């Protein structure tokens, strides 16, 4: 009896040592990722960390460019990290690293997860302010959000959809987002669009609106889902509303590949070269674009104001643009 008890004891101790070893190894691996290795980083008074979203690389480059300049003007070094590009670390991992490295502020796109909320609270407890951009998580301990709120963005999409409704037939509208941008904010945008369409459509117009969140861990998954929409022509919506850059580009390519140009109206997001091509050819009806320069600049301003005053505005509203075939040339020039 004693022998069996002793055996169980050694097994439990062995398991505990094994699990402890794994945890120590994981922590050491995280510690090996050093922040602030950029050229001249040590010469700045403050060190800010920007954690880019896993998608929309071009968009984040635009945000970082303006944010980096604003940081330099404030004697701060801004470091950009793109999860999944050069390592297996995700956004939560880099949040932990930023907290452990005791950076002076963090900028990121909220994903609405419980894990992220806990980490933002942990950062706040360590006197590290966090600013969310593009998508918000108002229930977290972030100090400020920079972007458009759900009301504004919902109204912007609604105005574009209204011009695409059929006169005396039902119009099927499908809103597409990917898992990276699926937050409470996305749901609020959906309900705002639904409410505004019902209020502003003409009496003889009917609309059926639905949403789908693509559970994508890579661009391929998004492409696969979009392909399935166009393969099954009987379920093809009349209007596709794309909530981010990646989905917009995938929809544009599928319209061309499956000869559906003219059969589906598309309202996109952002203005990459691919999206601008789609708009100039009339394949994408319009796209909603936020002012990325303002997002970058305001996010650093929020951190600076909090650093000097101990508080900042809870919300920074940025400009928005509607890109159509009539003004697409201006954005090509701006991009170049």
pLDDT for the residue 28? 47
Question: Which CATH number does the domain 31-147+292-318 belong to among 3.50.50.60, 3.20.20.20, 3.40.50.2300, 3.40.50.880?
Answer: 3.40.50.2300
Considering only CA atoms, which of 141, 34, 36, 140 is closest in space to residue 97? 34
Considering only CA atoms, which of 71, 127, 95 is closest in space to residue 302? 71
Asked if domains 31-147+292-318 and 150-291+323-335 share a fold, the reply is yes
pLDDT for the residue 269? 94
State which H helix or E strand residue 290 sits in.
strand 286-290
Q: 286 pairs with which residues across the strands?
A: 267
CATH class of 150-291+323-335: alpha beta
pLDDT for the residue 29? 47
The torsion defined by the Cα of 112, 116, 117 and 121, in degrees rounded to 10, comes to: -150
Q: Give the neighbor-by-neighbor strand order of the sheet with 206-214.
A: 206-214, 170-178, 239-242, 265-269, 286-290, 320-323
pLDDT for the residue 218? 53
Is the pTM here over 0.75, yes or no?
A: yes
pLDDT for the residue 224? 84
Angstrom distance (rounded) from CA 285 to CA 273? 15
- In contact, 134 and 288? CB cutoff 8 Å: no
Domain boundaries, the chain: 31-147+292-318, 150-291+323-335
pLDDT for the residue 231? 83
Grouped pLDDT means (10 residues each) for the chain, 336 residues: 59 63 48 54 88 79 95 96 74 94 95 92 98 92 94 95 94 85 74 95 94 69 83 85 92 93 94 94 96 96 97 95 94 63
Which residues are within 8 A (CB) of 61 and not within 5 positions of it... i.e. 6 or more apart?
A: none
Angstrom distance (rounded) from CA 168 to CA 280? 29
- In contact, 150 and 127? CB cutoff 8 Å: no
């Amino acid at each position: 009896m004693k022998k069996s008890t002793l055996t169980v004891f050694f097994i439990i101790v062995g398991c505990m040592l094994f699990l402890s070893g794994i945890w120590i190894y994981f922590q050491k691996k995280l510690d090996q990722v050093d922040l602030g290795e950029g050229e001249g980083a040590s010469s700045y008074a403050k060190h800010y960390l920007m954690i880019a979203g896993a998608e929309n690389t071009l968009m984040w480059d635009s945000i970082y460019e303006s944010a980096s300049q604003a940081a330099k003007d404030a004697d701060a070094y801004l470091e950009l990290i793109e999860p999944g590009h050069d390592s297996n670390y995700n956004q939560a991992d880099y949040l932990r690293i930023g907290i452990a490295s005791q950076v002076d502020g963090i900028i990121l796109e909220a994903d609405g997860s419980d894990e992220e909320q806990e980490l933002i609270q942990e950062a706040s407890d360590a006197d590290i302010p966090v600013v969310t951009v593009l998508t918000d998580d108002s229930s977290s301990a972030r100090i400020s959000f920079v972007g458009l709120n759900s009301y504004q963005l919902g109204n912007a999409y609604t105005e574009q959809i209204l011009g695409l409704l059929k006169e005396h037939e039902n119009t099927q509208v499908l809103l597409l987002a990917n898992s990276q941008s699926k937050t409470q904010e996305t749901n609020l945008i959906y309900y705002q669009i639904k409410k505004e369409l019902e209020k502003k459509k003409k009496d003889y117009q009917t609309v059926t609106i639905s949403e789908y969140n693509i559970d994508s861990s890579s661009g391929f998954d998004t492409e696969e889902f979009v392909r399935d929409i166009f393969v099954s022509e009987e379920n093809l919506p009349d209007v596709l509303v794309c909530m981010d850059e990646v989905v917009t580009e995938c929809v544009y390519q599928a319209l061309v590949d499956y000869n559906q140009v003219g059969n589906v109206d598309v309202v996109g997001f952002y203005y990459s070269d691919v999206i601008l091509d789609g708009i100039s050819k009339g394949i994408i009806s319009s796209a909603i674009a936020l002012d990325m320069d303002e997002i970058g600049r305001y996010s650093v301003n929020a951190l600076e104001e909090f650093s000097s005053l101990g508080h900042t505005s809870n919300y920074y509203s940025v400009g928005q643009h509607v890109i159509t075939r009539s003004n697409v040339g201006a954005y090509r020039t701006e991009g170049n």
